[in-house]
Amino acid sequence: MRHIVFRLDRELFALPLSAIREVLVPPWQWTRVPRAPPSVRGVINLRGRVVTVVELHRLVGVPEVAEPCERIVLLDRGRRDLGLLVTEVDGIESIEKVSAAPGKPDRAVRGVARLRGQAVTVLDPEGVDGAVVSSFGR
């Protein structure tokens, strides 16, 4: 299965390519959302559509990223648009074998895989979406 591979600081992550609409360069201005959870950076207007952009590191428990986030990975969620703020997109790769992630289960994480000798955390698009939705209820 083909995945888009991206980084949060130095850690590699992947999402199925079929779940991605496009990759964007973040805008200079953000519209803040009052009383939004800490993971929500804000919203942007993308060709007339309102896109909620979240800081992915906060959702998956990665420490604050030192490198600037220079890309938004836009998930294809039908009528609702969700952007994930990431450090950089590395490309598209075939990932066949995904093993269970060690430690406490996280619904956003499908598992881990090896890619050219490096560990890649493979995310579940529905789990990421669910984590964002549930963060508003906290």
Please write down the HEC assignment for all residues of 57-108: HHHHCCCCCCCCCCEEEEEEECCEEEEEEECEEEEEEECCCCECCCCCCCCC
Domain limits, the chain: 2-135
Half-sphere exposure of 122 toward its Cβ, with a 13 Å CA cutoff?
22
As to burial, measured by CB atoms within 10 angstroms (0-12 exposed, 13-18 middle, 19+ buried), residue 118 is exposed
> Would you state the pLDDT for residue 113?
94
What would you measure as the largest C-alpha separation in the chain, in angstroms? 43
- With a threshold of 0.85, does the pTM exceed it? yes
For the segment 33-88, what is each residue's pLDDT rounded down to a tens digit?
A: 888 888 899 999 988 888 999 999 888 888 887 778 889 999 987 777 899 999 99
> For the domain 2-135, what is the CATH code?
2.40.50.180
Per-chain mean pLDDT for the chain: 89
Question: CB–CB of 83/91 below 8 Å?
Answer: no
Quickly tell me which residue has 């979240």 as its tokens. 54
The dihedral through the CA atoms of 30, 63, 111, 131 has a sign that is negative
